[in-house]
Amino acid sequence: MKVELLVTRDSSSCRKAELLWRSICEQKNLPFTLLEDDSPEGRHVLARHALRALPALLLDGRLVAVGVQTPDQALELLRSAADDGRT
């Protein structure tokens, strides 16, 4: 499962989300990519999903959450995405 987090610079909530998702991905041995909103790929994701708020979380390219999750919420998102992939 590929984990991507779209963030904006100098945002405390984006930094908080980044720390959470980096930690979880390290624990679960999942690839983690940080996308900045002013990068070409970040702008593409913003436009594709018509995002107006960040941070935004994509799992395997699918937008699954906007905002900062708790650790329990983050783990549930991973479980749900894994379950979706099996059906």
Domain ranges of the chain: 3-86
Residues 10 and 59: their CA atoms lie apart, in Å, by: 24
**Mean pLDDT, the chain, integer:** 95
Which of 60, 14, 3, 20 lies closest to 37, judged by CA?
14
Residues 71 and 87: their CA atoms lie apart, in Å, by: 25
pLDDT of residue 87: 40
- Segment 56-77, tens digit of pLDDT: 999 999 999 999 999 999 999 9
Of 3.30.1330.60, 3.40.50.720, 1.20.120.1200, 3.40.30.10, the CATH number of 3-86 is 3.40.30.10
- Segment 22-53, tens digit of pLDDT: 999 999 999 999 999 999 999 999 999 999 99
